[in-house]
Amino acid sequence: MVGGKLSKSIWLRYSFVCLLTLVIAAIGFAATQHLSTLDTRELARTQANIEVATSYYVDDSNQLSASQVREREAGFISSEPNDIPFELGDSAYWVRFSLSNQTLDDAALVLHIDNSMLTELAAYQYSSVVNSPLAALNQGTLSATAFPHLNINLSAKQNIELLLKLKAGGPPNIPLVWHQAEQFKTKQALTRVLFGVVIGVLAVIGLYNLVIFNAIRDKVYLIYIGYLLAAFLVLATVNGYGYILFSPETQELLNTHSLFFHYYLLSFLVLFTLYFLKFNEDNGKLFKIGQVSVYLLICLSAIGLFIPHTERAIIFFSLVPIYYAYSICLVILKLKSEFSWARYYVVSWIPLLVGAGAQQLTLFGYIDYSFILVNAFLLAVLCEITLMSFALAERMRRHEAERIAEMSYHSGSGIPRKNVFERSLYKLMQTPDAHLHVLVIKPEHIERVALYVNDAMNTALFKRIYEKLTPLFAYNDAIEPIGMRGEKIALVAGNMLAIVVNEQKNQQALDTIVSSINTLVEEAYRIEALQIPLQANIGVASYPEHGNLPFILLNKAQMALPDAENCTGKWAVYEEFQSDNSGYRLKLAAEINAAIEQGSFELYHQPQVDLKTMRVCGSECLIRWHYDGENLSEQGFIPPTAFIPVAEDMGLINKLTRWVIKQAIAQHSVLLAQGYKHHMVSINISGKDICAEGFYEYVAAEIEAAEIAANKIVFELTESATITNNAQALEVIELLTELGVTISIDDFGTGYASMAYVSELPFKELKVDRQFVQDVGDDKKRRTIAETTVRMAKGLGLEVVAEGINSQKDENLLRQFGCDIGQGYFYAKPMAFDDYLEWLTDEVNGRSPEPLEGEFISKHSLS
């Protein structure tokens, strides 16, 4: 049904687009036909009794006067106006018209000299007296106008002869078109409307894109604005509407430098292609070739100011096909790589190529003049910039969709996230009489397994499980789709998957579904090449029995997981007073409190390395718990992911954090005493800790009691969004900063951490989350995010720490981006304090007696 509705929606949308396109095409065709009649209504066809004979003479020296040319009447060549061979060069063209009115009525005629870039235009009329001098006609209406023209009034039975001197500073062709006076007024009016539309569209689109650029700072919009400005100036000179906007002196100056603007129009076109199609992100050979070619155009535009117009034009128009071919190749290359959203931009090339080619051929006299053809480039640019605007809008829409997808899908595995699951579950809950089961799937002993693998291996495991389970649910209608692409499985935590079973559609027992899941999980439970014979624990919560909100159902399904672990079938339904309060969580909370009082927790240190000096500059303190009591069902290592959420829920987190701070400061004193004078320690705190009463006083007292410098302490703050509107918390941060403590924003790019909070709070350090760092060299999007984050942070004057560095390649890239400090398995895993001291001693390899910014890491640890 979903597929059917989607197909119908797409069919309706494309039908509407096709219909709209046909209507616009019909209107455009009708307008074109009407405009073309302005050229086909030539004088000889509308008034057969008015005869016009045309001849021309080419003055190669451009030195002859009208009288001298008159003496060379034998050199005039009879021709139709459209057949006069105007060419680039310094020659002047003399055109003679013999007009004869055979009617008994007066005739008002207009000679339209349709080239707005005339540098010489003079008109003379032969006198009726033989051998009398030529009479110069009024020059006021001849040049310095968008519509150079000559008004001629022919009396009944009158014969007159006119002599015109013509020379163009731009395109060589000078169309000479005779019109009736009323017909010419109509042509002027329609042309002004066309000019107005083009100027208005250019202005509106330019301003709109300026607003967008100011909002998102994407260079492609600035380049597009540059293209619009260059197009405006080029069209103002070639088509002459600049005379409507500027003074004649200004327009003549623009006409003189018309080719200069042509160069920049072509430059912006190439730049737009490169940035719109994202070749700048690759920074490959094609992008560098484009950059060099643009620099070449800019240089040629400057050199062109000092060489004759003819040579300038020849150079430019010989380059145009090369640059067009280069840009089209870029488009084709991206289309091959499924760059489907660039379709509007691809289509925009069609009117540009057709219009530019048609107008150039007309202006150079290769095809006959017509109103449409002489304005072809103007009309083409109008269509092109409109399509380019659509392309930019589509690009923005796709970027927004990608941004939403990044928030909705796990970057490493592509599995839908928790927020997608909760949104879809909420919609399903609105169905009348809905009866749903939420199943949370957690691989057995995943916390313990995670201790022996890195994040990439962990992600690969869940991706493999996801790929195994997807075919199982694909044709089971009882498993509801929850992803934007119809996916049925979500990653609701770092180590748990979830599905929704619709009981109204379900035709098999839940234990059958669970059994099938566990069979496939056991097949997929593999770390690299090692198959692990483990299944999954599955917790179940039902709607409406166990809650009426998605997060409540998810939480209760997770609460059922401990019970599932102890069941033969490896699954359990949430039961009040059993899954939640029967013992585990309360016992765990009690044991946490006892462990704080007895000092049973332990701090592990993971070294942090200065990426410039390659010396250890500090360590992050991480809490660990090896439980050896008897009150819990488990003994041994209990991961932070298990006890920290309980500590938060039970109000023990502030007490736990203070214990960590006390131990970290005490251990730091030991480090200082052993000669590591420049060593820093990083301690994780949350927004809840900052907001706790007396937090600052506690920290200040501990630092003072230990007699250490506060500037060697770093607080890595999570959940920064929770304190932005808390005046007391902000005051505490200010006090800590004044004390000398460095405040760092932790796990930037995930959860609450964002650039908005970085700009609002007095942070001095930013820590990029491991999911954007690990394998950064192998993932283009991850690399872009990491590089952008580092550069933004450096722009704000922050020191940048990257956690999750697992290889030399990761380290090299992050150093190239400008990252200051690295942390990850590439250097060392977290280790107990005594082990850390030993590790430092081994790695120092004979510490230098000279003061150092950090401690030396020997080469063998980096190889």
Q: Which CATH class is domain 418-582?
A: alpha beta
- Written as six digits, the tokens of 721 are 């969004």
pLDDT for 755: 59
Task: Look at residues 609, 617, 605, 679 and name the one whose alpha carbon lies nearest to residue 819.
Answer: 609
Residue 43 has pLDDT above 60, yes or no: no
Q: What is the C-alpha R_g of the chain?
A: 39
Q: How far apart are CA 681 and CA 618, in angstroms?
A: 5
Q: Is the pLDDT of residue 35 over 60?
A: no
Instruction: Summarize pLDDT for 454-463 with one digit per residue, the tens.
Output: 878 888 888 8
Q: Which residue has the higher pLDDT, 508 or 662?
A: 662
Q: Are 840 and 601 in contact (CB under 8 A)?
A: no
Tokens, residue 144: 């310095």
CA 766 to each of CA 413, 744, 810, 829: distance values in angstroms, whole numbers, following the listed order: 25, 5, 18, 21
Compute the distance between CA of residue 637 and CA of residue 447 in angstroms, rounded to an integer.
10
**Which residues, at least 6 apart from 680, have a Cβ–Cβ distance to it below 8 Å?**
608, 617, 618, 619, 712, 713, 714, 742
Contact partners, residue 243, CB within 8 Å, separation at least 6 = 116, 144, 145, 146, 251
What pLDDT, on a 0 to 100 scale, did the predictor assign at position 203?
87
In this prediction, residue 353 carries a pLDDT of: 67
**% of residues, the chain, pLDDT over 90:** 17
CB atoms within 10 A of CB 20: 10
Strands (DSSP E) along 137-272, which ranges? 149-154, 159-168, 176-180
**pLDDT tens digit sequence for 272-297:** 888 888 888 877 888 899 899 999 99
Omega cis (within 30) before 416: no
- The predicted-structure confidence for 726-757, as pLDDT tens digits, reads as follows 677 888 889 999 999 999 888 665 544 455 56
* φ, ψ (nearest 5 deg) of residue 223: -65, -40
* CA 477/CA 481 separation, integer angstroms: 9
User: The tokens of 856 are what?
Assistant: 């030396």
- 503, 545 Cβ separation under 8 angstroms: no
Element housing 822 (H / E): strand 821-823
Q: Once rounded to an integer, what is the mean pLDDT over residues 217-240?
A: 85
Greatest C-alpha distance within the chain: 132
Burial class (CB in 10 A: 0-12, 13-18, 19+), 827: buried
Tokens standing for residue 633 = 């069902």
- Give, for 497, the enclosing helix (H) or strand (E): strand 496-502
Task: Provide the edge-to-edge strand list for the sheet that holds 107-113.
Answer: 149-154, 107-113, 176-180
Between these two residues, 612 and 408, which has the higher pLDDT value? 612
pLDDT, residue 139, reads 53
Rounded Cα distance between 468 and 45, Å, is 80
Domain 186-407: top CATH class: mainly alpha
Burial of residue 707 (CB within 10 Å: 0-12, 13-18, 19+) is exposed
**Digit-coded pLDDT (tens) for 523-533:** 888 877 777 78
Contact assessment for residue 198 and residue 240, using Cβ atoms and an 8 Å cutoff: no
Q: For residues 669 and 708, is the Cβ–Cβ distance under 8 A?
A: yes
- Map out the domains of the chain as residue ranges: 1-40, 44-180, 186-407, 418-582, 598-846
How far are the Cα atoms of 83, 408, 448, 466, 515 from residue 533, in angstroms, in the given order? 89, 32, 14, 17, 15
pLDDT of residue 854: 41
Handedness of CA 367, 368, 371, 372 (dihedral sign): negative
536 Cβ neighbours under 8 A, 6+ residues apart: 441, 442, 443, 444, 517, 518, 521, 570
Strands 77-78 and 50-59: antiparallel
What are the helix (H) ranges across 715-825? 727-739, 755-760, 780-795, 808-817
Phi-psi category of residue 719: left, alpha or beta, with phi > 0 → left and psi -120 to 50 → alpha:
left
**In this predicted structure, what is the pLDDT of residue 660?**
95
Query: At 41, is the pLDDT very low, low, confident or very high (cuts 50, 70, 90)?
Result: very low
Average pLDDT rounded to a whole number, residues 568-592: 73
**What's the whole-number average pLDDT of the chain?**
80
3-state SS assignment for residue 305: helix
Question: Which residues lie below 8 Å from residue 368, measured CB to CB, with a gap of 6+?
Answer: 82, 362
Mean pLDDT score, 708-716: 92
Q: What is the pLDDT of residue 662?
A: 94
3-state secondary structure of 838: helix
Domain 598-846 belongs to what architecture? Alpha-Beta Barrel (3.20)
Q: Decide: pTM greater than 0.85.
A: no
Measured at the alpha carbon of residue 495, what is the angle toward residues 493 and 499, in degrees to the nearest 5? 65
pLDDT of 391 > 70? The answer is: yes
Least confident range from 306-320, 569-583, 682-696, 827-841: namely 569-583
The pLDDT, as a whole number, for residue 645 is 83
Tell the residue number behind the tokens 């009348």, with chain if given: 432
Q: In degrees rounded to 5, what are phi and psi of residue 800?
A: -115, 130
Number of H helices, E strands in the chain: 30, 27
Average pLDDT over residues 827-835: 92
State the Cα–Cα distance between residues 95 and 572, nearest whole angstrom: 100
Backbone angles phi, psi at 790, to 5 degrees: -60, -45
pLDDT of residue 414: 81
Q: Which two tokens stand for residue 160?
A: 């007159």
What six digits make up the tokens of 522? 């056991």
Total number of residues shown for the chain = 863
Residues 727/769, Cβ–Cβ less than 8 Å: no
Compute the average pLDDT of residues 39-59. Answer: 70
Summarised one tens digit per residue, pLDDT across range 512-568 is: 888 888 888 888 888 777 777 888 899 999 998 888 888 889 988 998 888 888 787
State whether the Cα torsion 262-267-272-273 is positive or negative.
positive
- The whole-number average pLDDT for the span 97-109 is 86
Average pLDDT over residues 109-138: 76
Mean pLDDT (whole number) for 804-821: 91
Q: Which tens digits make up the pLDDT trace of 411-436?
A: 778 888 888 888 899 999 998 889 99
Task: Count the Cβ atoms, other than its own, within 10 Å of residue 485.
Answer: 10
- Is 449 within 8 Å of 548 (Cβ atoms)? no
User: 168-200, pLDDT tens digit by residue?
Assistant: 877 778 888 888 888 888 888 888 888 888 888
Give 742-755 as a 3 state SS string.
EEEEEEECCCCCCH
Q: What is the CATH number of domain 44-180?
A: 2.60.40.2380
